[in-house]
Amino acid sequence: MTIPESTGHTADGVSESTNGVIAVVKRDCPTCELVVPALTQLHAHLESQGSTLTVYTQDDPTFPSFGASPVDDTQLAFSWHNNIETVPTLLRFENGVEVDRIVGWSREQWQSFTGVADLAAELPEHRPGCGSLSVDPALTDMLAVRFNQSSLHSRRVEFASLEDEFEAMFDRGWSDGLPVIPPTEARVLHMLSGTTRDPQEIVASIPPDLNEVTVEQIAVNAVMAGAKPEYLPVILAAVEAACTDEFNMHGLLATTFFSGPIIIVNGPIAERIGMNGEGNAFGQGNRANLTIGRALQLVIRNLGGGRPGEIDMAAQGSPGKLAFCFAEREYDSPFEPLAQWRGQEPGVSSVTLFAGQGPSAIIDQLSREPVSLTKSMAASLRATNHPKLAIGFDAMLVVSPEHGRIFTEAGWDRQRLLSELEKLLTLNADEMIRGVDGIAEGLPEMLAGHSVPKFRPGGLLIAHAGGNAGLFSSVLGGWVGGGTGSEPVTVAIGS
C-alpha cells in the first residue's frame, strides 16, 4: 500500500492532494486483527475503482500484510496530528481534508462508509475498538513535547550531564527549601492541560518585582510544587487574588511579622480535585492542599523575587509560609460558605486569601450550648497576637464540626455568631492601656475611658473545617487589616 494519491507530505502524512481512504490500526488490538480480511477486500475493491487504501500501523510496521507494506506510524505522527483515539479507525480524505470517519468494527457502518455491500460478510456484526497509542497516558506527555516543541515560551535551562537535577535546582535558588519537581517540557505541557486559558495570557503582575507572568510560567512553578493539572485553575485564581492591591502581597512579604497567604477554597472544585477540609485540614497528607499553597509561594518567590532575607523579612516566620491551603467543610456547616458570605454566587468555586499565620487552639470540651461556647471563643480571640492590642490585627475563627453542631442545633448562623462575638469583644480600653498590669505593651493612653473593638469591622472571618472528633476549634491570627495592611480577597475560579 502506498500513501494515497499524495505528494509533498507533511509529518502527519496529509497534504492538500491527499485523497482516498485511510485506516489506522495496531497489531496489539484484537479488533484490528479481526478486520484484516475486511481491509484486504477493501484494498482490492478500491484498486479496481482506481482509488486507494492506505493503512497506518502504530506498533508493528509489518502489520497488516496483504500485497503492500503499511505506512509506519510507530512514531505516532499521523495518529497524533489526526486525533486518532480508537483503532481501527477509517477516514476519508478529499483534497487533504478529512470528510468522514468511523471507529471500531461495525459491518453495517463499514459497508456504508466504503460502498462495498458484501464487505467482510463472514465477520461478526460488531466489535469495539481498542485505545490508540497516541492517547496512551504513558505516551501523551512525550508526544506533546515531540509535536509541540515550539509551543512553550519559557527559557530552557540545560544542566550539565553530571549535575543532579534536584541539587541543581537547589543551587540555582529555585527551591523553597524542599526538593522541587524538575519542570520538563512534558510535565509543563501536561500541567497546562488543566486549564483552557491561553498559556501566554498574562495573569498578574507579581510582587515585589512586579513582573508580568503568564499562565505558562505559573504552570512551571505548579509542576515544581508537585501539583496536578486539575489544581491549576485554583492556583491561577490564588495568584490573581494575591496580586491585588487589596491583598497587598508586597507588604505581606516586607513585614517582619509571621503572616503569609492562607488559601481557603469553596465550591464544587474542592471535592472534585480531592481537597481536604476535614481531619488534619491544616496539616500534612493531602496533595491538593499542600501543593496549591506551595505553588503560590513558589510563584511569589521565583517569578516575583519574594525571597527570605531579601524582600521577605519575617523575623521568625511560620511553617504556613511554605504552604497553607484548605477547603472549607461545607456539607454540614452551620454557616453559608465563606466565599458566598463574601459575595460570590452559591455554588461558584472560589478562593479566599487571608493574610494569616498558624493555628492557635481553642479548647472547650464542656460547653453544650452556644452562649457558653461563644464566650470561650471570644476569650481566645481576645488573646490574638496580644490581649492588650485591639483594632489593628485581623483574625479568622475556624469552627470545628463538633463545635459547629452546637450552633446548628441552636439555629445560629454566621451573622448571629459574629454579632455575639462583637459584643463580647468590645473591650474596656482602661484594662489595655500601656503599663496596666505591669505590661508596657498596650493601647495608647488617649483611649482611656473608651470601649474599643478587638477587631475592625469585617476584620474577623469565620470558616468551618476539621475532623468529626475533637471539641477543638482554632484561631488563625492575622496581619494588620485594612488600608495599612491587607484585606481578605475572594476570587472566582475559572476554567
3 pLDDT above the threshold of 70: no
- pLDDT, average across residues 245-253: 96
| pLDDT tens per residue across span 189-242 | 999 999 999 999 999 999 999 999 999 999 999 999 999 999 999 999 999 999
CATH number for the domain spanning 55: value is: 3.40.30.10
pLDDT at res. 150: 59
Residue 1 confidence (pLDDT): 34
Do 197 and 495 meet the contact criterion of CB atoms below 8 Å apart?
yes
Helix runs in 425-481, H state only:
none
Same domain, 484 and 397: yes
Whether 122 and 170 map to the same domain: the answer is no
pLDDT in tens, 382-393: 999 999 999 999
At 476 the pLDDT is 97
Q: At what angle do helices 287-298 and 215-225 cross, to 10 degrees?
A: 130
The predicted structure's pLDDT at residue 19: 84
Residues 188 and 89 grouped into a single domain: no
Number of domains making up the chain: 2
Total length of the chain: 495
Is 225 in a helix, a strand, or coil? Answer: helix
Mean pLDDT to the nearest integer, 445-455 = 96
pTM for this model (two decimals): 0.82
| One domain, residues 205 and 79 | no
Tell me which residue of 315, 303, 452, 311 sits closest to 389, measured CA to CA: 452
Q: Which of 136, 155, 184 is the last residue of a domain?
A: 136
Q: Are 352 and 261 in contact (CB under 8 A)?
A: no
471 within some domain: yes
* Closest-CA residue to 134 (of 125, 144, 126, 124): 144
Q: What is the pLDDT of residue 96?
A: 87
- Would residue 188 count as lying in a domain? yes
pLDDT digits (tens, 9 = 90+) for 169-191: 999 999 999 999 999 998 999 99
Write down the pLDDT at residue 8. Answer: 36
Q: Please indicate whether residue 299 or residue 15 has the higher confidence score (pLDDT).
A: 299
Q: Does 8 map to a domain?
A: no
Element (H, E) at 377: helix 370-382
Separation CA 370–CA 424 (nearest Å): 13
Query: Would you call 17 helix, strand, or coil by DSSP?
Result: coil
**58-78 confidence digits (pLDDT tens):** 999 999 987 667 999 999 999
Which domain range does residue 90 map to?
20-136
Say whether both 480 and 432 belong to one domain. yes
Q: Residue 110 domain-assigned?
A: yes
CB 379 within 8 A of CB 473: no
Q: Cα(225)–Cα(408) distance, rounded to whole angstroms? A: 38
The number of C-alpha atoms within 13 Å of 433 and in the hemisphere containing its C-beta is: 11
| HSE-CB for 116 with a 13 A CA cutoff | 20
| Residue 473 · residue 448 · CB < 8 Å | no
Q: What does the pLDDT read at residue 66? A: 75
Q: Is residue 436 part of a domain?
A: yes
3-state secondary structure 271-306: HHCCCCCCCCCCCCCCHHHHHHHHHHHHHHHHHCCC
CA separation for the pair 58, 36 (Å, rounded): 15
Q: Which amino acid is at 118?
A: D
3-state helix, strand, coil in the chain (%, to 5): 35, 20, 45
Q: Hey, what's the cell of 484?
A: 495599612
**pLDDT per position as a tens digit, 127-142:** 999 999 999 988 888 8
**277 and 325 part of one domain:** yes
The whole-angstrom separation of Cα 323 and Cα 325 is: 6
Region for 328 from its dihedrals, namely left if φ exceeds 0, alpha if ψ lies in -120 to 50, beta otherwise: beta
pLDDT range class, residue 266, cuts 50, 70, 90? very high
Of the pLDDT bands very low, low, confident and very high (cuts 50, 70, 90), residue 486 is: very high
Is residue 160, in this structure, part of any structural domain at all? Answer: no
211 lies in the same domain as 293: yes
* pLDDT at 449 exceeding the cut of 90: yes
pLDDT of 2 reads 35
pLDDT one-digit tens code per residue, 5-63: 333 345 566 776 678 899 999 999 999 999 999 999 999 999 888 888 999 999 999 99
Residues 317-343 have a mean pLDDT of 96
222 is a domain residue:
yes
Residue 113: predicted pLDDT? 94
CB distance 54 to 3 below 8 Å = yes
Q: Is residue 284, in this structure, part of any structural domain at all?
A: yes
Please tell me whether residues 117 and 170 are part of one structural domain.
no
If one counts every other C-beta atom within 10 angstroms of the C-beta of residue 97, the result is 11
160-169, 308-317, 336-345: which is most confident: 336-345
pLDDT at 50: 85
Q: Are residues 292 and 185 in the same domain?
A: yes
The verdict on 211 and 336 lying in the same domain is yes
Q: How far apart are CA 287 and CA 6, in angstroms?
A: 51
Residue 192 and residue 109 share a domain: no
Instruction: Answer with the one of 87, 119, 136 that is the final residue of a domain.
Output: 136
Q: Which H or E run contains 211? A: strand 211-214
Cα distance between residue 31 and residue 148, in whole Å: 31
State the chain's mean pLDDT as an integer: 93
Q: How far apart are CA 23 and CA 32, in angstroms?
A: 10
Looking from the CA of 167 toward its CB, the CA atoms found within 13 Å total: 5
265 and 380 inside one domain = yes
Residue of higher predicted confidence among 13 and 349: 349
